[in-house]
A and B are shown apart, each in its own frame.
Chain A
Amino acid sequence: MKLSKILIGAIMAGIAIQTLPSCSKDRDLTPQQKEAKKKEEEKKRHMDPCPACGMG
């Protein structure tokens, strides 16, 4: 199925944003906060893979 060029561009940008490491105001965070933030971003970037077929 063919998708519109506009949608392809939006997906491309969306992937790029999701793949980028965060660069905002990390200097103001404590090491614990940085760790928690890193974990949260990791969760968002890597959603649960599928365990459901079994043997995964």
Chain B
Amino acid sequence: MPRLLSTVACNLDPHLLGACLPLFESGEADAIEWSFDALYRLDALPDWFHGLINAFSEGNRLIGHGIFFSLFSGKWHPEQETWLRELSAVCRKYRFDHITEHFGFMTGQDFHHGAPLNIPYTDAALRIGQDRLLRIADACGRPVGLENLAFSWSVEEVRRHGDFLDQLMEPVNGFIILDLHNLYCQVANFDLPFETLAALYPLHRVREIHISGGRWEPSEDRSRSIRRDTHDDSVPEEVFRYLENIIPQCPHLRYLVMEQLGAGLETEDSKTAFRADFRRMAAIAGQWNVTKGDEILHPFSPPATPPQGAPLEDLALHQQQTELSSILENAPSFEAATHALQASSLAQSHWQVEQWSPHMLETAIRIAQKWMKKN
């Protein structure tokens, strides 16, 4: 296993940067992960933020984490073409060690006012995902990875996610980010043991691990709590246990990333707790690093040949995604959403809406309506 790099997910947010500053001053942060596409509202980076990104870029300690590509949209959108062009440009400016994106498709009209949701694990979806990952690799010229999704419609999907990720990454010779808080959500929301779930993931492809916090939310009928990946609280004790447990099983692991949003870092106490979590993660990495000899890094090099032809599309999938987004964003209640789904083209299809967990449909409505309202 290579030397582990303790990394902070770092964006242009004063609270987050304020929390990270002591880690930069002391040199404790080995690397940073930057969501390069989150600043679409700005024409240019402030000079000082460019200086920060550039310093880690020159030290070969910068990794990029996209948010808004929407890998599995059934239709190829102009926004995706633009995203790839901007990715190429940012990769000419900064040297990223690798580039990653998220699983799923984004609801919402332009991907910036939506939430990521799961898709049916069909051959058609697999081909679309593989094609688009090759296009990302072609645009950035760097190893490409994908993060596991926290959201699932059913326990069956939870069980199949890891294998589907493995098949997806095969043609691009890619890797996965294993987000342990996302797994924590799955464990809690679907009553599965962590060890069972972790064994279903292609751990030989893990190059990066994320840890973060979230919150509990009561279901509508108050019968249970749903764990959400809101990134606005400290890392749960259980997630640290997962981390210690999983590291020895990931032979190509390189980056441990601590994620938290600025919205959860507005007080001095929360900033102190953030740094304590980072230092605990770094201490776990340090235990592994003391035993390391020469570094042997798995290259995860993408193929040299660019993808051929036009991007793959599945217009029937696009139609279903549009219907689903509209139902989730506009449903006045859980019951109304259930009825609308039964009358939609998703009924009796690969989506298997008949098997969806009611609590997760309820959560999807909340998430879709939360992000739709952002403007």
Contact = CB atoms under 8 A, between A and B. Distances in A.
A23 interface: no
Nearest 9 pairs between A and B by C-beta?
Answer: A54-B151, A14-B48, A55-B150, A2-B27, A55-B229, A52-B102, A10-B48, A52-B67, A54-B150
Contacts of B102: 52-54
B296 interface: no
B149 A54 contact: yes
A52 B51 contact: no
B310 interface: no
B132 interface: no
Interface in B27-80: 27, 29-31, 35, 38-39, 41-42, 46-49, 51-52, 55-56, 59, 61, 67-68
B116 A1 contact: no
7 contacts: A3-B24, A47-B12, A54-B103, A54-B151, A54-B367, A56-B150, A56-B231
B11 interface: yes
Contacts of B52: 3, 7, 11
B112 interface: yes
A14 to B, nearest CB: 4
A55 B41 contact: no
B104 A54 contact: yes
Contact of B262 (A4, A44, A46): A46
A31 interface: no
Identify the interface centre among A2, A12, A46, A48: most chain B CB within 10 Å of its CB.
A48
A11 B51 contact: yes
Contacts of B24: 3, 8, 11
A13 interface: yes
A47 B150 contact: no
Interface string A38-49: 000001111111
B275 to A, nearest CB: 15
Contacts of B29: 1
A13 B14 CA distance: 11
B63 to A, nearest CB: 13
Identify the interface centre among A3, A4, A12, A19: most chain B CB within 10 Å of its CB.
A3
A33 interface: no
Interface string B177-206: 001011001000000000000000000000
Nearest to B62: A1
Contact of A7 (B17, B55, B103, B112): B55
Contact of A3 (B25, B228, B261): B25
A15 interface: yes
Given A1-B56, A56-B115, A50 B67 contact: yes
A18 interface: yes
A48 to B, nearest CB: 5
Given A1-B55, A19-B14, A48-B38, 20 more contacts: A3-B24, A8-B24, A11-B24, A14-B46, A15-B21, A18-B14, A19-B18, A45-B14, A47-B11, A48-B67, A50-B35, A51-B67, A51-B115, A53-B181, A53-B210, A54-B103, A54-B150, A55-B182, A55-B185, A55-B367
Given A53-B147, A55-B229, A56-B229, A15 B25 contact: no
A1 B30 contact: yes
B118 interface: yes
A44 B49 CA distance: 13
Contacts of B17: 11, 14-15
Given A1-B61, A45-B14, A54 B55 contact: no
B371 A51 contact: yes
